[in-house]
Structure 1
Amino acid sequence: MNLLHERLVVDEHGQKQRLDRYLASLGRWGSRTHVQKLIDAGQVLLDGQPARARYLLRPGQTIEIHWRPTDDGLVVRPEPIPLNVVFEDEWLLVIDKPAGLVVHPTPTHSGGTLVHGLLYRWRGRPPGLDPLRPGIVHRLDKDTSGLIVVAKDPHTLAALGRQFHQRRVSKEYMAAVWGVPRASTGTIDAPIARDPVHRKRMKVVRQGGRMARSSYRVLGHRPPISWLAVFPETGRTHQIRVHLAHLGHPIVGDQVYGRARKLPPGVTVERQALHAAALAFAHPVTGEPLSFHSPLPTDLQPLWNYCQSACD
């Protein structure tokens, strides 16, 4: 693959951010691990000089990245996976992802992902995009349904990444949780870090974590379940699931951050009851405001109907 050369200027949101975290948050150069490898190999220059991954940035500094998209040993081939595309133009598309669909390939999910479906739809990978995560700006967990935006070219990917990084993207989720929050509205401001013992889990920490903030509003409740609208201001891994569990109200069906409980008669839940219901951002090329809404999937409808009189 050809060597790519890119240059960017650190904006105000990069203030005191680690170099590796800042670049990874833009979604352009793969995972944070891959970004760290680029830095360690001297392929990232800060103001013309090699820098360490932990260097704390200042607005106005110039970053140069010299890189080749990596496949991490995986070969991703197009697969005819149906995608529910709710919007598409020459620069991006918005997809309503079903529960059970993994967004991009990993060593444990080498096929059948949203990326495989994208490559089939595009008849190949657009030039300059990462082989494993082509155009992927943000992610949804496998068992979370709802809206996700994908870029078709590097410029659009970087522009969308900046909007997410600068928290100019509006996101709304619907979540069914156990119990009833004491306050009908609230904000959970609690840093998140990876669990040092269970490495696939995240947890709220007092020190050393990344700042994370989520707001919520109770839509309705009927014991033992409440429906919430949740508005994540940051985008940490498993953020909503971790925050709601920290609040004492884990998401119904969440087998990682909750525990099995008895559901109301006639109600079944086969996955975590979390749905990305709304997404709004400025078009990265035209500047036009874009807003999208996704109805609650049919598999979560019985849970909604259970408290319908309170949730209407």
Structure 2
Amino acid sequence: MEDIKIRIVEEQKGQRIDKILAKELADFSRTQIQSLIQNGYVVIDEKPIKASYKVETGEDVIVYIPKPESTDILPEDIPLDVVYEDQDVIVINKPTGMIVHPSIGIYSGTLVNALLYHCHDLSGINGVTRPGIVHRIDKETSGLLMVAKNDKAHQSLSKQLQEHTVTRRYLALVHGLIPHEFGRIEAPIGRDKNDRQKMTCTDKNAKDAITNFKVIERFRDMSLVECRLETGRTHQIRVHMQYIGYPVYGDPQYGLRRDDTSHGQFLHAKILGFVHPRTGEEMYFESELPDFFEKKLQELRNEME
């Protein structure tokens, strides 16, 4: 069992512990945090505390993170859009709203649950909660991702990601009219010190991040862009496009408050390319935009007429 220690500072005094943890534990959902508290995994002075507990300056909060048992991750008959499959690799077109793998408090309804039902030969490199998962895309991002069915394939695909030889191209609908045709964003990304659930462009505790983009189509006050990743940082496209003043439409964290966020961000992993781990063949896949994305684009085109 892992643990996370949090020292309460003066400006946090009097705040509820669940509110504090929502900011400090950026990789955990509110449901997961509530589950940790309810099950006694959040303690002060070795005593479990309630969600309503109001913290005091100087207190040390310890959050224990239990490791999920393999029995928690069960196969589920969830439909999958399988674009390609062989003995080594599966390429999935993930829908908006699906989480890629289980984590604390979320053990069902994920892509992994669906994969465990679909096949029984996933790689074990990432353990029981992430079998076969080589890379991720955000819950509210749709599109293509590759899954390894054995350890040898996993090692090959991971190496390609590390060497930046995997082709990953996304379509994003962003606010604003981008005046130039092409752009390259080189800005390191790290955790936002004011909101632990968000990432930001910063030079403190950050990792290098590079996004290339080109404008595909312009509308009245929006642009459709294709983004090509050279690195794969958390929320990279969303953070980079906001950083240069063109936030992704519908993004609940980095977009505009007036946006329709019911579908999540209008960001789709459209193109995926890699070298097959067994045959050495260059693989290339392309997926169609989700219906809600296409509908929005058509509405914008109609406004231009």
Report the TM-score range of the alignment, normalised by the length of the smaller protein: 0.7 to 0.9
Distance 1:128 1:237, change over 3 A: closer
Distance 1:91 1:310, change over 3 A: farther
Distance 1:282 1:72, change over 3 A: same
Aligned to 1:72: 67
The equivalent position to 2:99 in structure 1, one of 90, 99, 102, is 102
Q: Give me the whole-angstrom Cα distance separating, in 2, the residues matched to 1:209 and 1:148.
A: 25
- What is the CA RMSD across the aligned residues, in angstroms? 2.2
Aligned to 2:277: 284
Matched, 1:166 2:163: yes
Distance 1:262 1:256, change over 3 A: closer
Q: Give me the whole-angstrom Cα distance separating, in 2, the residues matched to 1:128 and 1:276.
A: 24
Matched, 1:271 2:261: no
Q: CA deviation at 1:302?
A: 1.6
Q: CA deviation at 1:208?
A: 3.4
Per-residue Cα deviation, 1:106-130 (whole angstroms, up to 9, x for no partner): 1142210000001011147666662
Q: CA deviation at 1:258?
A: 1.5
Unaligned runs of 5+ in 1: 1-70
Q: Give me the whole-angstrom Cα distance separating, in 1, the residues matched to 2:278 and 2:259.
A: 49
Number of residues paired by the alignment? 238
Q: Give me the whole-angstrom Cα distance separating, in 2, the residues matched to 1:269 and 1:181.
A: 25
Q: Give me the whole-angstrom Cα distance separating, in 2, the residues matched to 1:181 and 1:166.
A: 30
Per-residue Cα deviation, 1:215-238 (whole angstroms, up to 9, x for no partner): 111111112211101111100000
Q: How does 1:252-263 map to 2 (within 5 A)?
A: 252-261=249-258
Is the 8 Å Cα contact of residues 76 and 109 (structure 2) preserved in structure 1? yes
Q: Give me the whole-angstrom Cα distance separating, in 1, the residues matched to 2:180 and 2:98.
A: 34
Aligned to 1:218: 215
Partner AA of 2:286 in structure 1: H
Per-residue Cα deviation, 1:188-220 (whole angstroms, up to 9, x for no partner): 000000112311211000343100000111111
Unaligned runs of 5+ in 2: 1-65
Most deviating of 103-112 and 86-95: 103-112
Q: CA deviation at 1:240?
A: 0.3
Per-residue Cα deviation, 1:174-197 (whole angstroms, up to 9, x for no partner): 000011123221000000001123
Q: How does 1:1-312 map to 2 (within 5 A)?
A: 72-74=67-69, 75-123=72-120, 130-261=127-258, 270-308=263-301
Q: Please state whether the residue corresponding to 1:300 is helix, strand or coil.
A: helix
Partner AA of 1:274 in structure 2: L
Distance 1:81 1:308, change over 3 A: same
Aligned to 2:48: none
Partner AA of 2:152 in structure 1: H
* TM-score, normalization by structure 2: 0.73
Q: Please state whether the residue corresponding to 2:118 is helix, strand or coil.
A: helix
Q: Give me the whole-angstrom Cα distance separating, in 2, the residues matched to 1:184 and 1:292.
A: 25
Q: Please state whether the residue corresponding to 2:263 is helix, strand or coil.
A: coil
Per-residue Cα deviation, 1:150-194 (whole angstroms, up to 9, x for no partner): 001111111100000000001110000011123221000000001
Partner AA of 2:265 in structure 1: Q
Q: Give me the whole-angstrom Cα distance separating, in 2, the residues matched to 1:76 and 1:157.
A: 20
Q: Give me the whole-angstrom Cα distance separating, in 2, the residues matched to 1:170 and 1:270.
A: 26
Is the 8 Å Cα contact of residues 122 and 132 (structure 2) preserved in structure 1? no
Per-residue Cα deviation, 1:251-289 (whole angstroms, up to 9, x for no partner): 0000101222367xxxx9632100000000110111000
* TM-score, normalization by structure 1: 0.72
Q: Give me the whole-angstrom Cα distance separating, in 1, the residues matched to 2:247 and 2:174.
A: 6
| Identity between Structure 1 and Structure 2 (%) | 39
